[in-house]
Amino acid sequence: MDAELGSRGVETVCQTCEVELDRIAEVAMLTEQDLELLRQPRRRINANIPVRMDDGSVEVFPSFRVQYNDARGPMKGGIRFHPAVDEDEVDELAFLMALKCAVVDIPFGGAKGGVQVDPSALSTGELERLSRAYISEFQDDIGPQTDIPAPDVNTDGQVMAWMRDEYEQVVGRQTPGVITGKPPGLGGSKGRTTATSLGGAEVLDAFLETVDIGGDSPTVAVQGFGNVGSHLTKFLHERGYDVVAVSNADGGLHDASGLAVPALFDEHADTGDLVAAEATEIPNEELLTLDVDVLVPAAIEDQITEENMADIRADAVLEMANGPTTPTADEYLSAHGVPVVPDILANAGGVTVSYFEWVQNTTNEYWTVDRVQEKLRAQMATAFEAVAQVKAEGDGTRSWREAAYTRAVDAVLQAETYRSNIPER
């Protein structure tokens, strides 16, 4: 099947879904009816939201909410603010969220939202008005038992706090479970900030126990030093990994003998800059092609593509960003013996603790950070073991992505069967 090009210059989401699903169709014994059910979201809701700016003018922001599947429970998915957000991207992310919730066995479906905006160009007041306007626009389509948003790229706990407050003003009652990723003082869960990173570290530990890569101190390069990448770097350093390169949007640092991670982390937390005395500055593109044991794309989607896939020299890839490897590049790496631990498993720690937050909001019982992290470790370990078991079934040639997708798709389709939306499988 020839993939058409979307507005981002890569395979569009519906094509991406078809490519991924077609790849596992035989492995997972999917029927054409199964594929038809999974290829498209249940609904797309688009809006052009007007917001009054500080100078009195009005700007209109294209906004999206895609609800992919709710067979397993209320839909769940973040809201991103970014100039490049479009319906294709939100479609793909909603698809991934549906699979992500299923692969770690939390009772949510998948959704995603976005606003086409450069938030760095907004004042605090403009950002608040946009955040509230988004919830006001989509109020009928979200709710704690319907669709539960969360932070994503360029949104944070403060944005979620505004959104929760706006929703409660509309419905006229306290509804903490409508949004996750809130500040702890407003119903957020302890441990949420580092949850994605901790989950990824747990998955990488488990993965490296199954393959002969890296020895006692595997070398790692991390693309992206935002919340996920920075905390993952810190967790991996504490576990004995040798982090030799990191980067952000401005470029990266490389030190073959290992970066001084604690000092790097502290400097970045204080100033937002990447500074390491002995390191060499490198562009992001070069970081992706370093000869390391594990490459960790932890920034944005579509970083390992047809253009650079032949230059990847890492022995394995851990996807901490959403969709950082295109389907074509993923197939190439798999065929050349480079295992890719897929995003729907590797970065699922965040949505898992979002589920914990929703449970705490629903029961009004709040947990310590130690309890949150203990439960997260257990959930990620169980999910990894289940995916590893699926990978080992049959002739044992399934890739990690095929195994994770198979587990996730089977769970979604089983729920659809229980609901009588499809015949007994």
Give yes or no: 112 in active site. Answer: yes
CA distances from 125 to 48, 54, 141, 159 (A): 19, 8, 25, 11
Closest C-alpha among 284, 330, 325 to residue 304: 325
Largest distance between two CA atoms of the chain: 65
Residue position matching structure tokens 């073959």 = 256
SS (HEC) of 213-255: CCCCCCEEEEECCCHHHHHHHHHHHHCCCEEEEEEECCEEEEC
Question: What is the chain's Cα-based Rg?
Answer: 21
Give the pair of three-digit tokens for residue 389. Answer: 């078991």
- CA–CA dist 330, 336 (Å, integer): 10
| Residue of 179, 130, 178 lying closest to 151 (CA atoms) | 179
Q: Are strands 280-282 and 43-52 parallel, antiparallel or unpaired?
A: unpaired
CA distance 280 to 206: 31
Is 77 in contact with 94 (CB distance < 8 Å)?
yes
Give the residues across from 245 on adjacent strands.
221, 254
SS3 state at 99: helix
Question: Among 76, 112, 182, 190, which one carries the catalytic annotation?
Answer: 112
d(CA 142, CA 125) in angstroms, rounded, equals 24
Count of C-beta atoms within a 10 Å radius of residue 363: 9
Residues with catalytic function: 112
